[in-house]
Structure 1
Amino acid sequence: MKIESPFLKKQFLKRYLYIIALIAGACLKGQTINIAGTSWTATVPTITEAGTNYAGTYNNPSLLTLSGHLPGSFLNLLTSSGARISMQLAPTSWNSSLKLYAKRSGGTATINGLCVLCTATINGGTANYIEIPQANAATLSTITFTGVLGLSNSVDYSGINVQLEIGGVSVTIPATAYSTQVVFTIGAN
């Protein structure tokens, strides 16, 4: 087929790129992250005398649990860099003196499909509490992969327990109800 007109060449190229985008979109599936757990209300004691400050930090007694799926198309894009689970505050009513922290415990990663010498591991976030920032996302942990990935591989991760801690509580912060949401995302490391 010979195309002479620049207009026709442009139309043919647009149509060709559109078809490629449709085919690629049908093959790629997005990675997921699921969160199980309940809202947490930190109970801070009442100050009974002048000069007494709050105790400091308060931990969430129940855990959030993260799980999800990383499709093979996403794994192929990552090569050996792995995936990063990040977190960020989305405050609704918050005082900047308050600090929210998270720490990970547990977690498993399972490779699905035929894979030669493959491993998937969850790393980081277990030693100390990590501050959850408002402006930029902080890394909670990473999921790294090794081995030769096949065509029908994917990774499921589950049981990533996250404990929250609030700090910066002080008599200098106005007494009111503060609230925020923690947004977890997963993407390329």
Structure 2
Amino acid sequence: MKINSRFLREIFLKIHLYLIPLTISSYLEAQTINASGSGWTVSVPSVTEAGTNYAGTYQSTSNITTLSGSLPGSFLSLLTSGAARVSMHYNAISWNNSLHLYAKRSGGSTTINGLCIACSATINGGTNYIEIPPATDTAFFTINFTGVLGLGNSVSFSGINVQLQISGVSVTIPATTYSSQIVFTIGPN
């Protein structure tokens, strides 16, 4: 049996994703976001016979990273909408534009530090996959705050687990290693 080489292609695609937390400063104290964990390497199986293609979409089997950080009172008092927004984008290192990245979060907790009257802080959104764009931030989730600030207030957040997904994997994408950096930023909503 003769197999047309056009349909038989040996491809091994590795995608490395690196996480970079950014800190954005306010005029008094800095709000911070930290990423702990490791990158994600996606191993796409080789096409071994004609007519076999990739699944096309792969997701991390576990959480890739955990986000944590703090929002000082000086930042909280500037929030006109009562929410801080965590945004994300990716910086392509070696990338193919046919590949699309997505992230979703699970879990997370907040702690209010200092004197605060009728205060609450909640983490909202981001529990479904959201596409991560190249270079330009998109909203991932918010940390909402309500209450009357006292002295020495801050909100700490932790345990926000991030899972990733990639789509667009195909035999039409050249066989090589692709990598990208995911950047998380935090600021006013």
1:165-176 equivalences under 5 Å are: 165-176=165-176
Partner of 2:139: 139
| Offset of residue 99 of structure 1 | 0.6
| Offset of residue 150 of structure 1 | 1.5
Large movers: runs of 4+ above 6 Å = none
Partner of 2:94: 93
1:42-53 equivalences under 5 Å are: 42-53=42-53
Q: Does 1:65 align with 2:46?
A: no
Provide the identity percentage.
69
| Offset of residue 57 of structure 1 | 1.2
Task: For 1:73 and 1:135, locate their aligned partners in 2 and report how far apart those are by CA, in whole Å.
Answer: 29
Letter in 2 for 1:69: S
| Offset of residue 133 of structure 1 | 0.3
Partner of 1:110: 111
Task: For 2:155 and 2:134, locate their aligned partners in 1 and report how far apart those are by CA, in whole Å.
Answer: 29
Partner of 2:124: 123
Task: For 1:101 and 1:37, locate their aligned partners in 2 and report how far apart those are by CA, in whole Å.
Answer: 17
Q: Does 1:55 align with 2:55?
A: yes
TM-score, normalised via structure 1 length:
0.83
Larger mean CA deviation between 53-62 and 91-100 belongs to 53-62
Computing the radius of gyration over CA atoms, which structure comes out larger, 1 or 2? 1
Q: Spell out, residue by residue over 1:75-105, the C-alpha distance to the aligned partner (whole angstroms, 9 max, x if none).
A: 0111343100011001100000001110100
Higher relative contact order (CA 8 A, sep 6+): 2
Task: For 2:71 and 2:44, locate their aligned partners in 1 and report how far apart those are by CA, in whole Å.
Answer: 39
Q: Does 1:83 align with 2:84?
A: yes
Number of residue-to-residue matches in the alignment: 163
Q: Spell out, residue by residue over 1:116-136, the C-alpha distance to the aligned partner (whole angstroms, 9 max, x if none).
A: 00000000011x211000042
Unaligned runs of 5+ in 2: 1-25
Task: For 1:185 and 1:78, locate their aligned partners in 2 and report how far apart those are by CA, in whole Å.
Answer: 16
Q: Spell out, residue by residue over 1:110-157, the C-alpha distance to the aligned partner (whole angstroms, 9 max, x if none).
A: 11001000000000011x211000042111100001111113110000
The question of whether the paired residues in 2 share the 8 Å contact of 1:123 and 1:142 is answered with yes
What SS does the corresponding residue of 1:77 show, helix, strand or coil?
coil
TM-score, normalised via structure 2 length:
0.83
Task: For 1:37 and 1:181, locate their aligned partners in 2 and report how far apart those are by CA, in whole Å.
Answer: 14
The question of whether the paired residues in 2 share the 8 Å contact of 1:80 and 1:146 is answered with no
Unaligned runs of 5+ in 1: 1-23
What SS does the corresponding residue of 2:74 show, helix, strand or coil?
helix
What SS does the corresponding residue of 1:74 show, helix, strand or coil?
helix
